[in-house]
């Protein structure tokens, strides 16, 4: 029989042409998606009525509010100190719960460690659903299953945080060097030995850094959870606002702000020590690095133990929860929108998405400026860079809830005030991420342009920004994802949207209504995440 002739090799020029065409198509698709995002955000601005007239009318209201806010009420300092310590303890315990649960979830979700494709799918599904489910609704549901106290708050923080910690942990596992693991397997090591000795040492620094970052996020979220009964500063803030005691409320808000900023600074310092801990020099010999690691480890254990002692969660409630769990699960069905029609439900969902879109666009515009000035290779000098970094750090430390409360009380504008609060918070997040991305670009093209006499703006727009753009685009959709969830939660202080319907239904124990609206939010979050994954694949071409 005559052998089939192999197809002729494709010429190099043809392959190059195909590659250029593919990249051009990818660029056009990305431009189209970004254009659609901008158009949707502009439509959101019209929906939320971002007119100057509304803000001008609020000037008198703002003057009255600030007059009632001062002097700040720091009376009973002992109680305020206890509430501060209790808030920290609950947040730390919740973050530790997330860290523990994230280990098996990440092991299942990681492509190179998952025992079975089904378990990998389950692991990834857990991380997605945990991120999408608002912690505000979690604590409301958990509060009906457990006794009053710190346990519902700890579990709400922990279960919600598994989404971020587990996902990033699984991503880190997939990027390990397989050499040590293969060597352990070749020597007859068990799966547990492979993980403990071949995987965990490589991913532990990244895992710990993620946990510290998540702890900062949880501390800001504690202000929101206080509105639904979690003890601590958030509960005191809620109670003060409900009795119109703005002097006390703003004093508590200031304590929360300073606490968040302080924890951010401490976490950044610890993350730098951990992530740089593996590098030794003659000035920092190995024994000192090990000693530093031991000190950090024992200190962390002491802090966790003290937090558990202070929070005093009623772990014994787990013995009784199984009796009420079937009933709570049955209350989630049948799915219904309750007193709202489906058109009303979708309109409220759009209000929530509009708040997130408008807030994200505000953040993108201003973070592009501040984030660029915070980068070492763009800033005019080190002082300007330090100032921009401190500004971003301060902005990141302000809980969105406090911003939203102040803006809503001052302007009375609801959704637009919430969008502005999210926009300010987004500046802190996106600004830092953009600055880090700019500092990580290849300096070669920048040097080449400077060598031929290009100005600073020419270097920035021709070399620096194009290299950092792929990462920045990914960060934009991460911020949009986060802002959808945040907009849902801010409904508790009058932002409106689907979160208000969820909160009202949860207070009336209509959990099937809560489940319906939660699935709508999860659908939006999953759509944004799917779009982000699609864009990352296009950007990789």
| Pair 211, 165: CB distance under 8 Å | yes
281 beta partners:
284
DSSP state of 282: T
What share of residues in the chain are helix, strand, coil (percent, to 5)? 80, 0, 20
Which residue, 160, 197, 161, 157, is CA-closest to 179? 197
DSSP class of 116: S
pLDDT of residue 2: 46
CATH 1.10.3720.10 fits 341-539, yes or no: yes
- The span from the first CA to the last CA of the chain, in angstroms, equals 42
The answer to whether 526 and 129 have CB atoms below 8 angstroms apart is: no
For the 72-315 domain, the top CATH level (class) is mainly alpha
Buried b (16+ CB within 10 A) or exposed e, 343-371: eebeebbbbbbbbbbbbbbbbbebbbebb
Whether 72-315 shares its CATH topology with 341-539 is answered yes
User: Structure pTM?
Assistant: 0.80
CA atoms of 37 and 181, how far apart (whole Å): 43
Could you tell me the residue ranges of all domains in the chain?
72-315, 341-539
Return averaged pLDDT per consecutive 10 residues of the chain, 541 residues in all.
51 58 78 89 82 57 70 88 94 94 92 88 88 77 79 90 89 85 86 86 85 88 82 88 83 88 83 60 57 80 93 83 77 84 90 92 92 87 87 81 76 77 89 86 86 86 86 85 84 78 82 86 84 77 63
Q: What is the DSSP letter of 281?
A: B
As a whole number of angstroms, the distance between CA 406 and CA 390 comes to 22
Q: Is the dihedral of CA 157, 162, 168, 173 positive or negative?
A: positive
Within a 10 A sphere around the Cβ of 294, how many other Cβ atoms? 10
Q: What is the pLDDT of residue 7?
A: 53
Nearest in space to 146 (alpha carbons), one of 1, 300, 322: 322
**Pairwise CA distance, residues 331 & 156, whole Å:** 19
DSSP letter (8 states) at residue 491: G
- Look at residue 475 in the predicted model and tell me its pLDDT: 85
């Amino acid at each position: 029989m005559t052998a089939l002739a192999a197809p002729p090799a494709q010429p190099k020029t043809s392959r190059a042409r195909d590659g250029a065409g593919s990249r051009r198509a990818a660029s056009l698709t990305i431009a189209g998606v970004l254009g659609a995002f901008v158009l949707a955000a502009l439509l959101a601005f019209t929906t939320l009525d971002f007119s100057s007239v509304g803000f001008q009318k609020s000037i008198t209201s703002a003057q009255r509010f600030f007059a009632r806010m001062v002097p700040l009420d720091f009376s009973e300092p002992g109680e305020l100190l206890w509430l501060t310590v209790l808030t920290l303890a609950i947040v730390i315990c919740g973050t530790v719960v997330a860290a523990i649960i994230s280990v098996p979830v990440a092991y299942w979700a990681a492509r190179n460690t998952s025992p079975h494709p089904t378990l990998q799918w389950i692991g990834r599904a857990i991380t997605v659903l945990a991120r999408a489910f608002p912690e505000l609704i979690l604590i409301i549901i958990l509060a009906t299953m457990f006794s009053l106290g710190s346990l519902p708050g700890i579990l709400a923080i922990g279960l919600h945080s598994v989404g971020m910690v587990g996902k990033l942990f699984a991503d880190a596992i997939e990027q390990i060097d397989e050499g040590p693991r293969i060597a352990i397997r070749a020597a007859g090591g068990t799966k547990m030995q492979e993980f403990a000795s071949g995987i965990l040492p490589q991913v532990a620094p990244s895992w710990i850094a993620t946990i510290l970052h998540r702890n900062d996020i949880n501390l800001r979220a504690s202000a929101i959870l206080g509105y639904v009964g979690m003890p601590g500063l958030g509960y005191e803030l809620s109670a003060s606002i409900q009795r119109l005691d703005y002097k006390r409320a703003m004093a508590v808000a200031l304590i929360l702000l300073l606490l968040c900023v302080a924890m951010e600074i401490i976490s950044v310092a610890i993350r730098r020590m951990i992530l740089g801990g593996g590098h030794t020099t003659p000035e920092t010999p190995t024994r000192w690095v090990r000693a530093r690691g031991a000190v950090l480890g024992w200190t962390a254990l002491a802090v966790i133990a003290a937090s558990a002692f202070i929070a005093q969660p009623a772990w014994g409630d787990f013995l009784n929860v199984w009796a009420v769990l079937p009933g709570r699960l049955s209350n989630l069905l049948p799915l219904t929108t309750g007193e709202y029609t489906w058109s009303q439900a979708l309109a409220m969902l759009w209000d929530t998405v509009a708040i997130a879109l408008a807030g994200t666009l505000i953040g993108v515009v201003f973070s592009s400026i501040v984030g660029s000035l915070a980068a070492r290779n763009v800033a005019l000098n080190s002082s300007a860079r330090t100032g921009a970094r401190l500004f971003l750090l301060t902005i990141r430390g302000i809980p969105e809830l406090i911003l939203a409360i102040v803006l809503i009380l001052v302007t009375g504008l609801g959704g637009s005030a919430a969008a502005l609060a999210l926009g300010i918070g987004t500046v802190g997040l996106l600004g830092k991420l953009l600055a880090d991305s700019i500092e990580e670009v290849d300096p070669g093209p920048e040097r080449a342009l400077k060598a031929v006499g290009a100005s600073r703006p020419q270097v920035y727009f021709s070399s620096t920004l194009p290299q950092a753009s792929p990462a920045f685009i990914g960060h934009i959709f991460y911020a949009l994802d986060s802002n959808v969830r945040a907009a849902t939660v801010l409904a508790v202080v009058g932002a409106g949207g689907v979160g208000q319907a969820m909160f009202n239904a949860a207070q009336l124990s209509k959990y099937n209504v809560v489940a319906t609206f939660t699935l709508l939010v999860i659908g939006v979050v999953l759509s944004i995440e799917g779009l982000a994954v699609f864009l990352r694949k296009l950007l990789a071409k």
